A and B are shown apart, each in its own frame.
Chain A
Amino acid sequence: EAQVTQNPRYLITVTGKKLTVTCSQNMNHEYMSWYRQDPGLGLRQIYYSMNVEVTDKGDVPEGYKVSRKEKRNFPLILESPSPNQTSLYFCASSLSNVWTAASGGNQPQHFGDGTRLSIL
């Protein structure tokens, strides 16, 4: 089954304790992205990756890091979490950059089920 898998689904932790949220997709997608969802704000992009070893900042990258060593994995790293990073996080992937005409049109993004992080 085609899917995007995030772990953990829920995490409560304390300020300053490094954590990693893993994301894995089994669709051989080139493009992966991380979003955070906050009430009244919709989803905002944190980081994205066009392909292996190619990552870049989204709209709200402060306090986060990512890596893309393999095509299927795109972990989100919080080196020193703070309470303002308490949120619901989603990883997403798509066949290619969503606007590239060469991809045959725009590919919808496939989302994981989310990771709810609480930073105390």
Chain B
Amino acid sequence: AQSVAQPEDQVNVAEGNPLTVKCTYSVSGNPYLFWYVQYPNRGLQFLLKYITGDNLVKGSYGFEAEFNKSQTSFHLKKPSALVSDSALYFCAVSPHSSNTGKLIFGQGTTLQVKP
């Protein structure tokens, strides 16, 4: 079965420290990978995507993600966290084998950045 896992329900980081939000996936073939962020009472906002090419992808608000095919991971990173980064983060995958346009989402990880 195709799936996405975000193993941490919550990640706590001090402001100014680097952050990592983990994501692993299980799909057949090469996946398209996405990160979205959700602020309270808002919809999901696109952060970045991996389609092909460089394994390190840069996105909005200083976030980046590293695609690791051998570990089937796509961890979200930021060198220096801000309090305003506190939100709910979703990893999602779009399988090549699907023509439905469906995104398969992870369970979400709450990022808490403390001053």
A17 CA to B98 CA, complexed, in Å: 35
Does A114 belong to the interface (CB within 8 Å)?
A: yes
- Cβ–Cβ contact B100 & A56, under 8 A: yes
| Total contacting residues, chain B, CB less than 8 A | 27
Which segment of A64-72, A77-85, A92-100 sits at the interface? A92-100
Does B24 belong to the interface (CB within 8 Å)?
A: no
- Cβ–Cβ contact B34 & A108, under 8 A: yes
- Cβ–Cβ contact A42 & B96, under 8 A: no
Which residue of chain A lies nearest to B95 when distances are taken between CB atoms in the complex? A99
A100 CA to B94 CA, complexed, in Å: 11
Within 8 A of A (CB), among B29-57: 32, 34, 36, 41-46, 49, 51
Closest 4 CB pairs of A and B: A111-B43, A42-B105, A108-B46, A43-B105
By a beta-carbon cutoff of 8 Å, the part of chain B in contact with chain A is: 4, 32, 34, 36, 41-46, 49, 51, 90, 92, 94-96, 98-103, 105-108
Given contacts A99-B95, A114-B43, 7 further A-B contacts (CB under 8 A): A40-B107, A50-B101, A92-B43, A92-B44, A98-B101, A105-B51, A113-B41
